[in-house]
Amino acid sequence: MKILIDQNNLLTIENPNIPKLKEYSNIASGYNFSDYDKWIIVYHKKQIKIINLKNLWDTMNVFWIKKRKPFIENKLDEDWFESAFGLFNWFDENTWKKYFFIPKIKESEFEILKKKLHKLAVDINLEKNEKGVCVSSLSDWDNKIPSAIINNGITSIFSFLFWLVLIYGKMDIKNWDLVSIKIHIPLFGQYIKYKEELDSLLKFLQEDGIFISRSIVQNKDWITYQISSSDYEFLWSLAYFYQSIEKIQKILKQETTENIKSELINFLEINDLIPEDWKEDVIAMIEDGIVKILTV
């Protein structure tokens, strides 16, 4: 037997006595992975345990580990505000101008958004009309669809998602601690195309170890594309962008992860079931690399 970080970057133990008869697929914090049965180390009910992969179930947490430097982007690219705000547009045949709008926004939400944009020093004129909240002063925008953002790298993606949070979502902040973010984008008619675009964007981040979950809620005439994340690397960047609106002292998930990380190292060192093969290398990777706890 040997302990290792497997091809899915999960902490597992190869046990030759376990038959490999069936491949098991799971989703944890938006991360899709599959493998044949083996031992996997999980965190469940405040305990670290060794279980069979086939017995992995809801509310269990797996350890995702990778050797790389922490990824924190501290530069907000304001250019991508146009792409986030410009997802929805219409052409006014009377004025021959293209307008961009926010669908299904309430008056109270509109006023809050204006105040946040003012604090961020974003120079944009929002107004209400028959289409909802519109911006008419930027009718010459050449909107960039989400898939095009991938080619501009992580800084652009984080900036784009931050603007989406500002317009369509919320920051879950408790006692100056950022817990998570949530985004709800209503997609209808020709805008259903953004579903695949946003899927590609989130998959691209996942391959870099930034975990963001998505779900679809089917309504009568539209779908709501829901995005959520408690990934501490991603949240740190958003917290930095958000600091002129509200101060954030720490990221709750990062503090929790650091505490459990110490427990994990101790567990690997003293547990009799942990094989010696590759143990020192795995512990070194946990100490020096990126550790994330993903919930099934």
Per-residue pLDDT of the chain (296 residues; tens, 9 = 90+): 999 999 999 999 999 999 999 999 999 999 999 999 999 999 999 999 999 999 999 999 999 999 988 887 777 777 777 788 888 887 778 877 777 788 888 878 888 988 898 898 877 777 766 666 666 555 455 566 677 788 877 888 899 999 999 999 999 999 999 999 999 999 999 999 999 999 999 999 998 899 999 999 999 889 999 999 999 999 999 999 898 899 899 999 999 999 999 999 999 999 999 999 999 999 999 999 999 999 99
Question: Is 102 found in the same domain as 41?
Answer: no
- The verdict on 132 and 274 lying in the same domain is no
Angle between helices 252-270 and 232-242 (to 10 degrees): 160
160 and 275 assigned to the same domain: no
Does residue 74 form part of some domain? no
Predicted structure pTM score: 0.87
Residue 294, pLDDT score = 97
Q: Is residue 170 part of a domain?
A: yes
Verify that 51 and 95 share a domain, yes or no: no
Q: Is the same domain home to 126 and 188?
A: yes
Is the alpha carbon torsion for 114, 116, 121, 122 positive or negative? negative
Torsion angle of the four alpha carbons 78, 84, 87, 91, in this order, in degrees rounded to the nearest 10: -40
Q: How far apart are CA 161 and CA 123, in angstroms?
A: 19
Whether residues 236 and 258 fall in one domain: no
Which CA distances in Å does 255 have to 34, 177, 179, 246, 252? 28, 10, 11, 20, 5
d(CA 56, CA 10): 13
Here the CATH number for the domain that contains residue 135 is: 3.10.28.10
Nearest to 211 by CA among 62, 76, 59, 80: 62
Q: In this structure, is residue 41 part of a structural domain?
A: yes
Residues 134 and 217 both lie in one domain? yes
Q: Are residues 238 and 196 in the same domain?
A: yes
Counting the structural domains of the chain, the total is 2
Same domain, 273 and 243: no
Shared domain for 149 and 239, answered yes or no, is: yes
Residue 40 in domain:
yes
Between CA 254 and CA 235 the distance in angstroms is 9
The two tokens of residue 195 are 């579903």
Q: State the sign of the Cα–Cα–Cα–Cα dihedral 284, 31, 146, 82.
A: negative
- Residue 71 inside a domain? The answer is no
One domain for residues 275 and 165: no
73 in a domain, yes or no? Answer: no
Q: Domain range spanning residue 17?
A: 2-66+252-295
User: Quick one: 20 and 129 in the same domain?
Assistant: no
Query: 72 in a domain, yes or no?
Result: no
Is 183 among the domain residues? yes
